[in-house]
Amino acid sequence: MSNVSKVAVVTGASSGIGAALVKAFREAGYGVVANARSITPSADPGIVAVSGDISSPETAERIFRDGVDRFGRIDTLVNNAGIFTAKPFTQFTAEDWAANIGTNLAGFFHVTQHALRRMEAQGSGHVVQITTSLTDQPINGVPAVLASLTKGGLNAATKSLAIEYASRGIRVNAVSPGIIKTPMHPPETHATLASLHPLGRMGTMQEIVDAVLFLEKAAFVTGEILHIDGGQAAGHW
């Protein structure tokens, strides 16, 4: 068992924002339980890598079993894993529906249940969802109803859980990004994507990491949907 003082679980941790969050939590002295479908074992004894699809309840069980076996506690969960499918509404398929519901909602449900049981037993904890500002401010030309349906559900769940668990020492928040410059966006798309923000640029992974770490330290903040979106949620532009 490690002697780290705090432990964070990060889903979708193999690349992009998830990998950046793992690095940031380790630099802050946290032990990290990192989950992704194809994540590989880490040589860092402060990281437990748990491969598996979070839409499966069995994966959620292993994340917390392996994490507690190594570290003895779980303090923070970042529900970062998610998929985004942009299509005209009538072109979504049954497979699109199953994939979005499986990762964005079922994954959140299974993992967060395990986290809250552990946190409730400890009398403390923090859960953060990574959602999207499209739930508040749809953009013409970006048809993304499944993102709005699933990530909007996470925003609503964030507020509901914040109230339900406030008296038990557990905070629940969300970070709602705009379009973030990650490897999933080819460089040739960056100019167009930047134009979808009032500030005229894409966000950076570090800006999302900074937002999560802010919420982690903000002990008087719960039920917050923190927009890191270059002004998207503020209105039309």
How far, in Å, CA of 179 to CA of 84, rounded?
Answer: 11
Cβ proximity of 55 and 107 under 8 Å: yes
Q: What is the pTM of this model?
A: 0.96
How far, in Å, CA of 132 to CA of 108, rounded?
Answer: 15
pLDDT in tens, the chain (237 residues): 567 889 999 999 999 999 999 999 999 999 999 999 999 999 999 999 999 999 999 999 999 999 999 999 999 999 999 999 999 999 999 999 999 999 999 999 999 999 999 999 999 999 999 999 999 999 998 999 999 999 999 999 999 999 999 999 999 999 999 999 998 899 999 999 999 999 999 999 999 999 999 999 999 999 999 999 999 999 887
Q: Report CA 121 to chain centroid distance, whole Å.
A: 23
Match domain 7-234 to its CATH number in 3.40.430.10, 3.40.50.720, 3.40.50.10860, 3.40.50.300: 3.40.50.720
Domain extent listing, the chain: 7-234
Nearest to 117 by CA among 174, 156, 60, 155: 60
Strand segments, DSSP code E, in 76-216 are 76-79, 125-130, 170-177, 180-181, 203-204
How far, in Å, CA of 37 to CA of 177, rounded?
Answer: 23
Q: How many helices (H) and strands (E) does the chain have?
A: 7, 9
Adjacent-strand bridge partners of 176: 227
Q: Under DSSP, is residue 101 helix (H, G, I), strand (E, B) or coil?
A: helix
